[in-house]
Structure 1
Amino acid sequence: MADLLCLGEPLIEFNQLPSGEFLQSYGGDISNTAIAAARQGAKAGILTQLGGDLFADSLRELWRREGVGAEHVLTSQTRETGLYFVTHDDEGHHFTYRRNGSAASRYTPEDLPLEALQTGHIFYASGISLAISRSSCNAVIVGAKALKSAGGKFAFDPNLRTALWPLEQARETIHSVMKLCDIALPGLDDARHLTGIGEPDGIIRFYHNLGASIVALTLGDKGAIVSDGNQQFHISPQKVRALDATGAGDCFNGAFLAGLLRGRAPRDAAVWANAAAALSACGYGAVAPIPNLSQTRHHLRKTGEYHAD
């Protein structure tokens, strides 16, 4: 049984290389997060629906290789698996999606494996899980309540995508759902848009006031801040040669949740997650560069930040 259950939409990724060609890989925030957690030693599982296509077959094979549980993944013979494209320029990376009406967007509360939720420790979803459809949004709410009622925790990344829904609707829905959240994982830019608050301290207070007992605010190339409501720690950025930050936030989330599941304190979990996310930006694509536990440990030893795990 999985300790971490991730609900949302996995995607097939086409990432632009310096040559202009596109490398086919895998993405989707919840899949990236589950894989990052698994590479850090956690038992992670996916809750979603895929199309009856070859892309779906390749995703299932990916999860098998990565040790991510896919026994609760459903198949639709009438809908397709979603795709996205990543292009790069001097301003960063840009996304183009082909996911409207995808199989994952037709996931419903009735599709949830309630027995698995009642034995899991953390249920994870994101703002994208809410945005792709009303039925998926409802599934997140029902899933979070089911796992929490059994003593588990609900972890959530707002992961704002204004291409999927208007800002006002996103703000209202995300913050309503986050009243259920125990572990808030916002990125600074998304949080500023959603809360209207500029300073990290104010953003952290906002999410604690919504109900989160732990807030891990990622700051891009400035590291992260983690708070348990009593103490707050700034995690310094890692010095790496970053090539592509696609999926770095997802990697942070997966590594952070894996750390909590291993019994690490929030600060120590954030140190590991910050290092893993930095290493994931040293290659192209959302999945291939995600480091495993030993690679992250080796990096932390080199930087002098390693603590016994």
Structure 2
Amino acid sequence: MSASCLDLLDHLHGGVSVVGSMNADYTVVTERLPKPGETVNAGPLRILPGGKSGNQAAAAALIGANVHMFGAVGSDDNADFLLGKLTEAGVDVSGVRRVEGPSGTTVITVDANGENTIVYSPGSNAQVSVDYVESMRDELTSSSVLGLCLESPIETVTAAARMCHEAGVKVLVNDSPFTPVLPAELIESADILLVNEHEMVQLLNIDEPADDNWDEFDWKAARDRMRALGFEQAIITLGGDGSVVIDGDDVHRIEPVHVNAVDTTGCGDSFMGTVLAGLASGFALRESAELASYVSAYAATGSGAQASYGSASQIRKYFAD
């Protein structure tokens, strides 16, 4: 893989729909994580825009895709904050529903070694209902690609996948937060699965390679198991070791892009958002994953999730320099 794949950034234009979560991330840094019942001092509280689906939508829009976000925010100040940040990124949020009560939130404590604890409160994300998705049928199916993760009710995720699949929209599902048994209807309606290496081995009920050596892993056997599960196409991300693309009979190893990482929060979501943008713009799955390697690597050079994402021009400039 060479930086020439960054030329694809000039050709991102397709329509993407994302259904799912938007969260306000309350983050503090401490010297060490508190023990049960203990109080520790922390640095300043930072409130950052997050939520896996919101992150994916923002990443896709920033690099040029035409993105529509679908989900729910609450009646609190975080609702305007989250929608405002997505709008700044270029996401169309006109289809997002406002409901009574709090928006989704996470409370994150990070220690000096980068270890963290995360508490997730779904808030308004739990109210993204099947009825809501069905009411947005025309808007959802007007895009070329649908992105889904599992921070929304599974019945809603499944309904959105079915609706878009029947309309000829390509459906990409990120099995995160990880669910070991996906509904049969969701598998049937999904075109592509995105998981990390740890999620893959649990989903396929296989062992991880000794010493985390993915170069020696039997990827063809994994391809066959993935196909038996119901997925002809899949992307498995390997963290600092790049990713693997399964596309029918073909298995492609995508090399990592090395940067001086500051914070990897949200990098996986930027990878997914880039794949959505690439597929919507007519790129092959392998091309989309190669480009995603650069976009997610750029995200690792900044702090936070959406706050670290770059525009197409920023990403091109960074790697040119």
Mapped pair 1:185 → 2:194:
yes
Contact 2:165-2:190 at 8 Å conserved across structures: no
Shift of 1:121: 1.4
Match of 1:108 in 2: 129
Structure 1 distance, partners of 2:140, 2:92, is 13
Contact 2:145-2:279 at 8 Å conserved across structures: no
Structure 1 distance, partners of 2:121, 2:55, is 17
The residue matched to 1:147 in structure 2 has which SS?
A: helix
Shift of 1:30: 0.4
Q: 1:11 to 1:93 in 2, by over 3 A?
A: farther
Mapped pair 1:94 → 2:116:
yes
Structure 1 distance, partners of 2:150, 2:47, is 25
Match of 2:23 in 1: 11
Shift of 1:301: 4.9
The residue matched to 2:180 in structure 1 has which SS?
A: helix
Structure 2, unpaired ranges of 5+: 1-13, 31-41, 209-216
1:36-185 mapped onto 2 (5 Å cutoff)? 36-77=59-100, 79-89=101-111, 92-100=114-122, 102-112=123-133, 113-129=136-152, 136-161=153-178, 170-173=179-182, 177-185=186-194
The residue matched to 2:244 in structure 1 has which SS?
A: strand
Q: 1:229 to 1:90 in 2, by over 3 A?
A: farther
Contact 1:4-1:42 at 8 Å conserved across structures: yes
Match of 2:264 in 1: 245
Q: Deviation per CA, 1:149-179, whole angstroms, max 9, x where unpaired?
A: 1111110011135xxxxxxxx3223666233
Shift of 1:22: 3.0
Structure 2 distance, partners of 1:17, 1:205, is 44
**2:145 is matched by which residue type in structure 1?**
I
Q: Deviation per CA, 1:64-109, whole angstroms, max 9, x where unpaired?
A: 21111111111112x2112113333476443422415x11102211
Structure 1, unpaired ranges of 5+: 130-135, 162-169, 303-309
Q: Deviation per CA, 1:160-200, whole angstroms, max 9, x where unpaired?
A: 35xxxxxxxx3223666233210111111222233322347
The residue matched to 2:195 in structure 1 has which SS?
A: coil
Q: 1:290 to 1:60 in 2, by over 3 A?
A: same
* CA RMSD between the two structures: 2.3
1:268-283 mapped onto 2 (5 Å cutoff)? 268-283=287-302
1:198-213 mapped onto 2 (5 Å cutoff)? 198=208, 199=217, 201=219, 202-213=221-232
